[in-house]
Amino acid sequence: MIKRKLLGQHFLNSNSIAKSIVSEAKITKKDIVFEIGTGLGILTPLLCEKANHVISVDADEKLIKNAKSKFSHLDNLTLKSGDGFKKKDSFSIFVSNLPYSRSKDAIEWLAQSSFSHGVIMVQKEFAEKLLAKSSKNRRAVSIVANHVFDIKNILKVGKNNFSPPPKVDSVILKITKKNDITKEQIQTINKIFSYRRKTVKNILKQFNKETTLNKRVDDLSGDEIIGLAKQILEK
């Protein structure tokens, strides 16, 4: 358990919450589900009941070995060890209790992936960043997530529903793909936020571009920040 804690991973131990996640995912027999974080397999068999096929990935080889033994009877399940965010599998639905330390990586990876929708569990503080109404509380990942996804807050999950229990509560979010974004646009938005105290005029100077706009990043809407990133990338 200590190793998993270092990875920022906590195992969900509530069957009722697991069932709620799967129900919210609206899986049909036409769907391929991609799960990152097989863990002890609380979600995996429930996903297999609903889906055409499930691909479940975990960074811990021992957990995958255990899952292969435990779920050998499930013929619509593929188990893989490794970094799920580096896999190239095709899928229509994404489901994950995301490792806290990889939440930003996950959103950026999902933003570039082709799929219909997903149900993810994230740290409450991270969910608040994604759903932030105030520009002061936004981060680059907030802009990316809200441009690419419709995000719906489904359920708050108390820390006592995990082993080992984390220090904070979690939130289940449903994300539905609505727009595309490129890796270069994401990288540019991250750079823009590293200059967020500067005016747009001074930010564009960093990229050898010009404007008369003296607003700061916090004064811009999400769409305006996306537009700024596109402007910077124009040749």
DSSP string, 100-128: GGGHHHHHHHHHTS--SEEEEEEEHHHHH
- Specify the pTM: 0.92
Phi-psi region of 70 (alpha: psi -120 to 50; beta: other; left: phi over 0): alpha
Burial of 15 (0-12, 13-18, 19+ CB in 10 A): exposed
Taking only the tens place, the pLDDT of each residue in 53-86 is: 999 999 999 999 999 999 999 999 999 999 999 9
Over 50: is that where the pLDDT of 6 sits?
no
Phi then psi dihedrals of residue 123, to 5 deg? -60, 140
Q: What percent of the chain has pLDDT over 70?
A: 96
Which residue, chain included where needed, has tokens 């580096």? Answer: 86
Predicted pLDDT of residue 5 = 42
Sign of CA dihedral 162, 91, 127, 101: positive
Predicted pLDDT of residue 9 = 64
Are 67 and 41 in contact, with CB atoms under 8 Å apart?
Answer: yes
Residue extents of the structural domains in the chain: 2-180, 185-233
Better pLDDT: 94 or 1: 94
Q: From 3.40.50.150, 3.40.50.300, 1.10.8.640, 4.10.520.10, which CATH number describes the 2-180 domain?
A: 3.40.50.150
Over 50: is that where the pLDDT of 178 sits?
yes
- Give the separation between CA 57 and CA 55, rounded to whole angstroms: 7
Taking only the tens place, the pLDDT of each residue in 102-159 is: 899 999 999 999 999 999 999 999 999 999 988 889 999 999 999 999 999 999 999 9
Over 50: is that where the pLDDT of 4 sits?
no
Predicted pLDDT of residue 140 = 97
Better pLDDT: 143 or 4: 143
